[in-house]
Amino acid sequence: MKFNELGFEPQLQEGLEMMGFKEPTPIQKQAIPAILANKDLIACAQTGTGKTAAFVLPILNKLCSNQTKKTNTIIIAPTRELALQIDRQIEGFSYFTNSSSFPVYGGGTGDDFEAQKKAIKNGADILVCTPGRLLAHMKFNYFDPSGVKHFILDEADRMLDMGFHDDIMSIFQKLPTEKQTLLFSATMPPKIRSLANNILINPVSISLAISKPAEGIQQRAFLAHDSQKIKLTQHLLKGKDLEHVLIFCSTIKSTKKLALSLRKVGLPAQDIHSELDQDKREQLLLDFKNKKVKILVATDILSRGIDIKGIELVINYEVPNDAEDYVHRIGRTARADRTGEAITFINGEQCRKFKAIEELIEREVKKSPLPEGFEPGPDYNTKKKNGKNFKGKKKFAGRKQWHKRKHKKKND
């Protein structure tokens, strides 16, 4: 199938041809016809499959012949970064369609809020929003949702993980009853199914199996105690001619600490996380994309939806909690048929988590020995739980003995 077989309006098709778009991806082949047919949709597809274009293109096609002075489409995304990226993609696709979009997100200045307010009052065709900021605007009488024909949730699983369920439902209930609702998610846990049952009507269901990491990614891991990780990171990066390194940490605290330790040994690292203001985060992303920042230490804020080509190395400073997140994280490298390397640090309590990752990607990841001069790391024991051999009966017996000692002490 070719894009010119999907029946797009001439001006949109012309734009796609000028941008070099010829063949749709699997998610686009299945989703675009359903959206053009005004069906509700639930789609499971991971980052990098082309899902943004899968919902943006049919919406822009409808707008070619049905523009009003009211907002037509609301897209909800979990983070400001993803909202901005979607808005930029819409801007590129809509160059020939005369459609307008505007990002609506928190964390900016009063001027940013006023600019968003103006776009809403003027009826931007598409609003790309984070949930909290959209609700803030919805409290005022200048927000008119009566023209909304499409409501789209992107990265729905991540939004529920971040606690946005109630916000999503509040937004949904303020919109017209007759609208098309589209739900896109990288994973499909029961809570997503429950949300879909509440907001979708007879939806078309699309499920693309989570793809394995690209062949161009060289994967390996180190078994390392937490106390060894900073020194190990420094060793892996020191003296290497790398221009694009992305390191994922699980907490803001470890992100700050690692970036500082790298700078202390002369490595040009910066940290990015939710405590930074929006302008700072946007500038860091731009500097990283332009290779002004060569090493970026990040929380999971960058694990999905951020498309930066040319990343040579991804380091998982901790094993991700979800196996699917591992695929998203290391998928930041080896994009566009390039090659890259992904390294994961595994402590003694994370062996079972990493085993689940190996089962998901259907391959065993090489465990490299720690460099010369390092003390031995933990064993790769996948039968451990929380760093201890898990034997329920022994645990119960220990609790029973504790009660006996407590009772004896009381009687003494």
What are 330-353's pLDDT values in tens digits? 877 755 556 789 999 999 999 999
Q: Distance between CA 333 and CA 320 in Å, rounded?
A: 16
Output 158 or 42, whichever has higher pLDDT. Answer: 42
Q: Distance between CA 410 and CA 412 in Å, rounded?
A: 5
The residue extents of the domains of the chain are: 3-207, 217-388
Predicted confidence (pLDDT) at residue 382 exceeds the cutoff of 90: no
With the C-alpha atoms ordered 175, 178, 184, 187, is the resulting torsion angle positive or negative? positive
Q: Distance between CA 276 and CA 152 in Å, rounded?
A: 27
Q: Quick one: CATH architecture of 217-388?
A: 3-Layer(aba) Sandwich (3.40)
Average model confidence (pLDDT) for the chain?
86
Q: What is the largest CA-CA distance in the chain?
A: 91
Predicted confidence (pLDDT) at residue 224 exceeds the cutoff of 50: yes
**Both tokens assigned to 157:** 């699983």
Q: Do domains 3-207 and 217-388 have the same CATH topology?
A: yes
- What pLDDT is attached to residue 384? 60
Predicted confidence (pLDDT) at residue 55 exceeds the cutoff of 80: yes
pLDDT-derived band at 135 (thresholds 50, 70, 90) equals: very high
Question: Which residues partner with 389 through β-bridges?
Answer: 384
pTM: 0.69
Fold for the domain defined by 3-207: Rossmann fold (3.40.50)
